[in-house]
Amino acid sequence: MSHALVRVLVVDDDHHIGELLTLHLEDLGLKVTYAADGNRGLELALTDAYDLIMLDVMLPGRDGIEICREIRKRNIRASIIMLTFRGEEVDKIIGLEIGADDYVTKPFSIREVCARVKALLRRSGSSPERLEPALTIEGLTINPSSRNVSLHGKELELTSTEFDLLFYMAKSSGRAFTREHLLNAVWGYSSSAYEHTVNTHINRLRSKIEPDPTNPTFIQTVWGVGYKCIGKNDAVSRAA
């Protein structure tokens, strides 16, 4: 994906933050659209095509959580980063559980935000994974060229980050990964403060790919370590 074609929607009622993000994201070569309220932000998100949407949690009109939920309900695959002043873990977890890919807590470092944006766009765009063959594990097929996942022939709706997390683990089926390792490999940063991000995405993945999420067969918890992706005999075969 060429950065000249990448479109970003920023929705934040703080005009100073909106201008700051617009300025720095445009410096990265991205095309930025800014909205200052939730109603306008949702309208833009549903009627135009964006590669990345940055949503403040607290917005006049519809809040960021509601907008995120509506975007995912429409199966729009744009990457989503939540912006929040709130320190409560519940807000961050709720945001991730309804389909957000990442979150940034205000006040933030603009350098960190730009790094997060670049990492997220790199994963959802022209990443080296697209050149790799598809994988099949016990009826679960993961195709990096189309970024589609199907279970016994039925296509599943995964967000960009859910796909990246699943594919990364599936490539090394049977290997146990720590949360910190997954955070660094998939999200592009490492901090114990964000490790619950991995837990939330694992739970979301299980709800979509597991026949019984309470008794997972594809992604298992390795107590004291983290998670691993397995199939029958931990075997991964290359799909034709």
- Cβ-count burial 20-30 (b if 16+ within 10 Å, e if not): bbbebbeeeeb
Largest Cα–Cα distance of the chain, in whole Å? 55
What is the pLDDT at residue 75? 86
Query: Using 50, 70 and 90 to split pLDDT, how confident is the model at 8?
Result: very high
CATH classification code of 3-124: 3.40.50.2300
Q: Encode pLDDT of 87-145 as tens digits.
A: 655 566 676 788 888 888 888 888 889 888 988 887 766 334 445 778 888 889 998 87
CATH 3.20.20.140 at 128-238, yes or no: no
Domain boundaries, the chain: 3-124, 128-238
Q: Considering the entire predicted model, what is its pTM?
A: 0.68
What is the DSSP-derived secondary structure letter of residue 105? E
Is the pLDDT confidence value at 240 over 60? Answer: no
The answer to whether 63 and 82 are in contact (CB under 8 A) is no
Minimum mean pLDDT range among 36-50, 52-66, 112-126: 112-126
Would you state the pLDDT for residue 190? Answer: 64
The whole-number pLDDT of residue 87 equals: 60
Q: Considering only CA atoms, which of 121, 98, 93 is closest in space to residue 187?
A: 121
- Calculate mean pLDDT across residues 65-81: 91
Mean pLDDT estimate for the chain: 84
> Residues 180-189: what's their mean pLDDT?
83
Answer positive or negative: Cα dihedral of 49, 35, 80, 204: negative
